[in-house]
Protein backbone atom coordinates (compact mmCIF):
# COMPACT_ATOMS: atom_id res chain seq x y z
CA UNK A 1 0.00 0.00 0.00
CA UNK A 2 1.15 3.48 -0.70
CA UNK A 3 2.54 5.18 2.36
CA UNK A 4 0.74 8.33 1.21
CA UNK A 5 -2.62 6.58 1.46
CA UNK A 6 -1.78 5.25 4.92
CA UNK A 7 -0.70 8.70 6.09
CA UNK A 8 -3.94 10.19 4.73
CA UNK A 9 -5.99 7.60 6.62
CA UNK A 10 -4.02 8.15 9.82
CA UNK A 11 -4.46 11.91 9.55
CA UNK A 12 -8.21 11.55 8.95
CA UNK A 13 -8.54 9.31 12.00
CA UNK A 14 -6.60 11.78 14.17
CA UNK A 15 -8.76 14.67 12.94
CA UNK A 16 -11.98 12.82 13.73
CA UNK A 17 -10.93 11.40 17.09
CA UNK A 18 -9.02 14.33 18.60
CA UNK A 19 -11.88 15.27 20.92
CA UNK A 20 -12.65 11.74 22.10
CA UNK A 21 -12.00 10.70 25.68
CA UNK A 22 -9.53 7.85 26.20
CA UNK A 23 -12.18 5.17 26.72
CA UNK A 24 -14.17 6.24 23.66
CA UNK A 25 -11.00 6.45 21.57
CA UNK A 26 -9.90 2.98 22.68
CA UNK A 27 -13.30 1.51 21.81
CA UNK A 28 -13.26 3.23 18.42
CA UNK A 29 -9.77 1.98 17.62
CA UNK A 30 -10.72 -1.57 18.65
CA UNK A 31 -13.76 -1.48 16.36
CA UNK A 32 -11.62 -0.07 13.56
CA UNK A 33 -9.05 -2.82 14.06
CA UNK A 34 -11.74 -5.50 13.93
CA UNK A 35 -13.19 -3.98 10.75
CA UNK A 36 -9.75 -3.76 9.13
CA UNK A 37 -8.99 -7.39 10.01
CA UNK A 38 -12.31 -8.51 8.54
CA UNK A 39 -11.60 -6.59 5.34
CA UNK A 40 -8.13 -8.14 5.08
CA UNK A 41 -9.53 -11.63 5.71
CA UNK A 42 -12.20 -11.16 3.03
CA UNK A 43 -9.60 -9.92 0.54
CA UNK A 44 -7.42 -12.97 1.18
CA UNK A 45 -10.43 -15.28 0.95
CA UNK A 46 -11.47 -13.70 -2.36
CA UNK A 47 -7.99 -14.33 -3.75
CA UNK A 48 -8.26 -17.99 -2.70
CA UNK A 49 -11.61 -18.35 -4.46
CA UNK A 50 -10.33 -16.79 -7.69
CA UNK A 51 -7.25 -19.02 -7.63
CA UNK A 52 -9.47 -22.08 -7.14
CA UNK A 53 -11.57 -21.25 -10.20
CA UNK A 54 -8.49 -20.38 -12.27
CA UNK A 55 -7.07 -23.84 -11.56
CA UNK A 56 -10.19 -25.70 -12.73
- At a CB cut-off of 8 Å and minimum separation 6, what does 32 contact? 13
The pLDDT, as a whole number, for residue 1 is 55
The pLDDT, as a whole number, for residue 9 is 97
The pLDDT, as a whole number, for residue 13 is 98
List average pLDDT for each run of 10 residues in the chain, which is 56 residues long.
89 98 99 96 80 63
pTM given for the model: 0.74
The pLDDT, as a whole number, for residue 38 is 95
Give the start-to-end residue ranges of the domains of the chain: 20-56
Amino acid sequence: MSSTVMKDVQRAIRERTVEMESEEYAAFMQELAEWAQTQADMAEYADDIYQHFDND
